[in-house]
């Protein structure tokens, strides 16, 4: 017999198998000797009170042996001779679109501008050490997309997007730990995700799919209002009537191509701000309300949202992509710009915590770039990144400022070394950020300091900018067919098209676009 229960335990109890058995016995009024196994189904931390508790959902096996559920993957067929579907981009949207195409009997042809996960590392080293930006291979471009080497968070705020558990189970099937099925905020880590991505690619190849690296798409071929294929930078023409466009939020050349060809795109507001690094021990103290979190609690995250200003000038300021025990990475995709992002290894064992702190933007904020039409938000984003590059010293060194100095508009006399490997240049960040963003962030940090005592400190360092929060463009598509509103056979997909916001949501959208591209109709279950 199996029974499910929910209860709260102390962190040390959650880590103790025998303690869980005893608690299950007490809670369920089951003799201890009858319990064969306690399986943890869901786990989350409740740090709202001084005594921190762990919320558990468990399944208790009563006089019944526990049988480990085998790792699940679909029964992928050989599609080497099947009809082809072109997928532009090998990020989570593109890879999961390819897997779903194979599952449904079609042959995916992935065209990725960057390199495979192994070869990408050399270009990451070049940007970190030598300040050299490869426009096709960097933290944003290459196999696995931006998530591969910039954290690997697997949680999404929107549960309406689709089957989150299916995506997590697929990742487990490709080598991720089963803990991602249990944790409230699952995370793989940048040290583990590349191997999983490589295994996904090998699966695609083994079942007849095609993956082409160093293959940047430079043109879209149309026959009337329908897709006919694409042209690559090498001059190759690849024909297909179905094309899934999954390029990610930084593929500015693709946005420009669509605009140039009069293929409808829309301006999409995003959020822009800074990335702040604190000592992880300080964040632990604030969040856990103790001097030492001990060995049973993970490095503490934080999530905070504030409305600042008044009346019509009120804006949201919020944390974004918070990375406990992580590092800040240089995420420029072209020379002459500076961009920051954050990531954490699987153990989240680095000495600092970092988070994007960003300001919501509105269409009217881009009026100075109105002549760019639907690319106005992108041009705004680009202008900030280029200014940061100039102010930082025209290298990948990032303009930085101590946090308390930032809020007081004071140039920092010195900036300590941070996890950002290319280095930090002391700059008064009002010279980098648009004035309304700068002032909104100053007010936001003051509010953060009230909500999180100890947060507003000169021990923390502000890095600017955090600008690639989401795509500055939306590529419109029919809500039913998921085809572009004017181009048949073109399926705008994932984060770059404006329909996802992270690994899981992008993967879900990739699967949906693949289903529509191959004409899949889900079976209707009878009432």
Token pair for residue 288?
Answer: 């856990």
| CATH class of the domain at 84-265+474-518 | alpha beta
Q: CB 136: neighbour CB atoms within 10 A?
A: 17
Mean of the per-residue pLDDT values for the chain? 94
Alpha-helical (H) ranges within 207-352 are 252-260, 280-288
Predicted confidence (pLDDT) at residue 133 exceeds the cutoff of 50: yes
The confidence band for 50, taking pLDDT boundaries of 50, 70 and 90, is confident
Confidence of residue 152 (pLDDT cuts 50, 70, 90): low
Residues 61-72, mean pLDDT to the nearest whole number: 89
What's the confidence (pLDDT) of residue 527?
41
Over 70: is that where the pLDDT of 151 sits? Answer: no
| Bridge pairing between strands 398-402 and 424-426 | parallel
The confidence band for 226, taking pLDDT boundaries of 50, 70 and 90, is: very high
**pLDDT number for residue 526:** 47
Determine the Cα–Cα distance for residues 455 and 227; give it in Å rounded to an integer. Answer: 52
Ordered DSSP codes for 201-223: HHHHHHTT-EEESS--EEEEEEE
Residue 91's nearest CA partner among 294, 220, 217, 250 is 250
For residue 62, is pLDDT > 70?
Answer: yes
The predicted pLDDT at position 523 comes to: 60
pLDDT digits (tens, 9 = 90+) for 336-388: 999 999 999 888 999 999 999 999 999 999 999 999 999 999 999 999 999 99
Q: What pLDDT digit, counting tens, does each position of 240-294 carry?
A: 999 999 999 999 999 999 999 999 999 999 999 999 999 999 999 999 998 889 8
Two tokens, residue 80: 């080497």
- The class of domain 2-62 in CATH terms is alpha beta
The pLDDT value given to residue 156:
67
User: Residue 35's beta-bridge partner residues?
Assistant: 62
**DSSP 8-state symbol, 80:** T
pTM of the model: 0.95
Distance CA 485, CA 262 (A): 12
DSSP state of 183: B
What distance in Å separates the CA atoms of residue 27 and residue 291, rounded to the nearest whole number? Answer: 32
Q: How far apart are CA 509 and CA 512, in angstroms?
A: 5
- List C-alpha distances in Å: 32 to 7, 13, 35: 17, 16, 6
- Delimiting residues of CATH 3.50.50.60 domain(s) in the chain: 84-265+474-518
Local structure of 11: helix, strand or coil: helix
pLDDT, tens digit, for every residue of 194-223? 999 999 999 999 999 999 999 999 999 999
Q: Average pLDDT for residues 492-517, to the nearest whole number?
A: 96
Percent of residues, the chain, with pLDDT higher than 70: 97
Dump pLDDT digits (tens) for 461-491: 999 999 999 999 999 999 999 999 999 999 9
């Amino acid at each position: 017999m199996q029974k499910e229960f929910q209860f709260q335990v102390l962190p040390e109890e959650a880590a103790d198998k025998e303690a869980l058995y005893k608690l299950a016995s007490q809670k369920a009024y089951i003799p201890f000797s009858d319990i064969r196994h306690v399986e943890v189904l869901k786990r989350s931390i409740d740090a709202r009170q001084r005594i921190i508790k762990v919320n558990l959902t468990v399944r208790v096996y009563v006089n019944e042996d526990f049988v480990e559920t085998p790792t699940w993957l679909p029964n992928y067929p050989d599609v080497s001779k099947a009809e082809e579907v072109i997928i532009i981009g090998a990020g989570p949207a593109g890879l999961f679109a390819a897997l779903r195409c194979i599952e449904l009997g079609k042959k995916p042809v992935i065209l990725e501008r960057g390199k495979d996960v192994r070869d990408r590392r050399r270009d990451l080293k070049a940007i970190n050490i030598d300040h050299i930006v490869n426009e096709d291979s960097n933290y944003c471009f290459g196999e696995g997309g931006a998530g591969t080497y910039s954290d690997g968070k697997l949680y999404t705020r929107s549960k309406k997007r689709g089957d989150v558990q299916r995506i997590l189970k697929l990742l487990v099937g490709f080598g991720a730990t089963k803990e991602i099925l249990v944790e409230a905020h699952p995370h793989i880590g940048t040290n583990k995700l590349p191997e999983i991505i490589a295994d996904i690619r090998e699966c695609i190849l083994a079942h007849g799919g095609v993956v082409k690296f160093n293959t940047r798409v430079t043109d879209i071929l149309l026959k009337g209002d329908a897709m006919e294929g694409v042209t690559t930078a090498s001059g190759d023409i690849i024909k297909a009537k179905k094309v899934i466009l999954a390029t990610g939020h930084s593929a500015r050349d693709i946005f420009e191509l669509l605009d140039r060809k009069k293929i409808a795109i829309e301006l999409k507001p995003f959020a822009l701000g800074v990335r702040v690094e604190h000592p992880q021990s300080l964040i632990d103290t604030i969040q856990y309300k103790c001097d030492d979190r001990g060995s049973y609690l993970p490095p503490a995250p934080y999530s905070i949202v504030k409305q600042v200003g008044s009346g019509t000038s009120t804006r949201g300021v919020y944390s974004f992509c918070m990375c406990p025990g992580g590092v800040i990475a240089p995420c420029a995709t072209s020379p002459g710009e500076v961009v920051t992002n954050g990531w954490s290894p699987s153990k989240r064992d680095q000495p600092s915590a970092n988070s994007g702190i960003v300001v919501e933007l509105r269409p009217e904020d881009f009026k100075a770039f109105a002549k760019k039409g639907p690319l106005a938000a992108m041009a705004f984003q680009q202008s900030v990144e280029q200014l940061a590059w100039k102010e930082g010293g025209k290298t990948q060194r990032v303009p930085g400022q101590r946090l308390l100095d930032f809020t007081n508009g004071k140039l920092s006399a010195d900036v300590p070394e941070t996890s950002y490997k290319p280095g930090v240049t002391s700059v008064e960040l009002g010279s980098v950020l648009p004035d309304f963003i700068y002032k909104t962030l100053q007010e936001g940090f003051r509010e953060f300091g009230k909500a999180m005592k100890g947060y507003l400190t000169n021990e923390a360092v502000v890095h600017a900018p955090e600008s690639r929060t989401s795509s500055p463009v939306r590529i419109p598509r029919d809500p039913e067919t998921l085809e572009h509103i004017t181009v048949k056979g073109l399926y705008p997909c994932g984060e770059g098209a404006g329909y996802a916001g992270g690994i899981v949501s992008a993967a879900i959208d990739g699967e949906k676009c693949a289903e529509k591209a191959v004409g899949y109709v889900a079976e209707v279950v009878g009432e």
